[in-house]
């Protein structure tokens, strides 16, 4: 029997939402790690019962929790995230040098084949790897020590590795996205990295088309089309057909091309979803109407999807890691808001319903399809 497990990280704990394949009735469990920020929870594709969670607070630092039974029980794992060597400085918001300081893990990305192998994207920007199920962590320093590293600067949320994509056709090929440095790619399992931002243009940096310095909010791909990447940037929705070698804008007829998340339909590689918000300073939907926009043409042409979502007086945001899809026959789409609602659609976005309405601020949403 099929089932869906939605892993929700919030500002005050983690929650697990479960339903059978009909996705009509949901069980809500949590909070896990109550009172702590859970930036991300994610499951291993190789063993769906293996879950990882990033738990942190400004008071007590970073913990990594692991479950081997689908979230019923958890145990703290290793939490020493030490930069390799002397980390040096990056740019602060005002352009002055600022020491590299570990703050938290934003994103956990388990391997497709090994439940004990997991990447962690950190603030200040660095990529860590565990090969023992989270017991110990080693930095892959080639990213942070890229020649451009001293010029990276934080976005409003911090200078973080927030997206980690493992190429489904070759696990040595990685893409990460850093706010506000941009996309970097590696073809050697994270040993060496190169920027992948050609075609991006950003206001707010001295050279709008610079190789590095773009505030990329999220990148996503379909597993069957590893060369095609989609991006929600600070402004602009973008697409690359050559693994990030070049990007072109696909914002098209969106009411605003500012937003945070972007997701790809599980079965249609040209169907993508974004949640436009008004502007860089007005992080809420245009006209107070919460609408997901879907393109079935790989970008350019977009349709609003608001059925079941609040269409008046709605001023929430959807953060970059807070949208995901399931892979049931009719693709389910899920997102969480800064107002604590988690919405789901079991018909690829045509209609929506709240799964839960009053959680703390939602930081992340991941979905496991259990077959």
Partner 1 sequence: MIRVVLPQHLRTLAGTAPEVQVAVDGPVTQRRVLDALEEDYPVLRGTLRDQTTQRRRPFIRFFACEEDISHRPPDELLPTSVVSGREPLFIVGAMAGG
Give the interface with partner 1 as residue ranges (CB under 8 A). 34-36, 57-63, 76, 79-80, 82
Residue with Cβ nearer partner 1 (60 or 203): 60
The token pair that represents 166 in the structure block: 């493992």
Measured distance CA(225)–CA(242) in Å, rounded: 10
Q: Kindly state the smallest distance separating residue 102's Cβ from partner 1, in Å.
A: 8
Q: Kindly state the smallest distance separating residue 92's Cβ from partner 1, in Å.
A: 17
The token pair that represents 157 in the structure block: 């949320």
Q: Kindly state the smallest distance separating residue 87's Cβ from partner 1, in Å.
A: 10
Q: Is the peptide bond before 165 cis (omega within 30 degrees of 0)?
A: no
Measured distance CA(90)–CA(150) in Å, rounded: 4
Residue with Cβ nearer partner 1 (46 or 103): 103
Residue with Cβ nearer partner 1 (30 or 344): 30
Exposure string over 8-45, b if 16+ CB within 10 A, otherwise e: bbbbbbbbbbbbebebeebeeebbbbeebbbbbbbbbb
Q: Kindly state the smallest distance separating residue 79's Cβ from partner 1, in Å.
A: 5
Residue with Cβ nearer partner 1 (79 or 350): 79
CA 55 vs CA 12, 58, 269, 273, 293: distances in Å: 10, 11, 33, 28, 31
Q: What is the 3-state secondary structure (H, E, C) of 142-191?
A: CCCCCCCHHHCCCECCECEEEEEEECCCCCCCEEEEEECCEEEEECCCCC
Residue 17 · residue 356 · CB < 8 Å: yes
Residue with Cβ nearer partner 1 (97 or 99): 99
Q: Kindly state the smallest distance separating residue 104's Cβ from partner 1, in Å.
A: 12
Residues in the chain: 371
Q: Is the peptide bond before 31 cis (omega within 30 degrees of 0)?
A: yes
Residue with Cβ nearer partner 1 (41 or 367): 41
Q: Which helix (H) or strand (E) holds 121?
A: strand 118-123
Q: Kindly state the smallest distance separating residue 75's Cβ from partner 1, in Å.
A: 9
Q: Kindly state the smallest distance separating residue 287's Cβ from partner 1, in Å.
A: 32
Residue with Cβ nearer partner 1 (58 or 206): 58
């Amino acid at each position: 029997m099929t089932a869906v497990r939605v892993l929700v990280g919030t500002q005050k704990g983690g929650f697990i939402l479960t339903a059978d394949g009909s996705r009509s009735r949901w069980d809500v469990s949590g909070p896990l790690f109550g009172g702590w920020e859970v930036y991300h929870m994610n499951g291993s594709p190789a063993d769906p019962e293996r879950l990882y969670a990033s738990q942190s607070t400004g008071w007590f630092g970073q913990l990594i929790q692991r479950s081997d039974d689908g979230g019923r029980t958890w145990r703290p794992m290793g939490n020493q995230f030490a930069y390799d060597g002397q980390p040096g400085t990056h740019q602060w918001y005002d352009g002055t040098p600022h020491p590299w300081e570990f703050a938290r893990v934003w994103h956990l990305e388990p391997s497709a084949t090994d439940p004990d192998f997991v990447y962690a994207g950190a603030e200040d920007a660095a990529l860590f790897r565990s090969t023992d199920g989270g017991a110990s962590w080693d930095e892959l320093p080639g990213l942070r020590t890229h020649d451009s590293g001293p010029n990276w600067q934080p976005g409003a949320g911090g200078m973080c590795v927030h997206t980690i994509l493992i190429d489904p056709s070759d696990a040595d090929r990685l893409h990460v996205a850093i706010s506000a440095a941009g996309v970097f790619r590696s073809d050697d399992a994270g040993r060496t990295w190169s920027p992948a931002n050609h075609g991006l243009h950003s206001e707010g940096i001295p050279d709008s088309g610079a190789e590095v310095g773009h505030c990329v909010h999220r990148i996503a791909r379909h597993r069957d089309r590893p060369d095609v990447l989609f991006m929600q940037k600070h402004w602009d929705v973008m697409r690359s057909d050559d693994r990030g070698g070049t990007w072109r804008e696909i914002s098209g007829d969106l009411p605003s091309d500012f937003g945070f998340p972007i997701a790809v339909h599980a079965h249609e590689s040209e169907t993508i979803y974004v949640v436009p918000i008004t502007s860089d300073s007005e992080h809420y939907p245009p006209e107070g109407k919460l609408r997901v926009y879907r393109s079935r043409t790989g970008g350019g042409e977009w349709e609003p999807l608001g059925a079941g979502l609040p269409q008046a007086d709605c001023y929430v945001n959807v953060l970059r890691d807070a949208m995901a899809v399931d892979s049931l026959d009719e693709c389910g789409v899920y997102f969480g808001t800064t107002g604590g609602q988690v919405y789901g659609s079991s018909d690829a976005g045509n209609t929506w319903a709240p799964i839960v309405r009053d959680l703390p601020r939602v930081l992340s949403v991941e979905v496991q399809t259990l077959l």
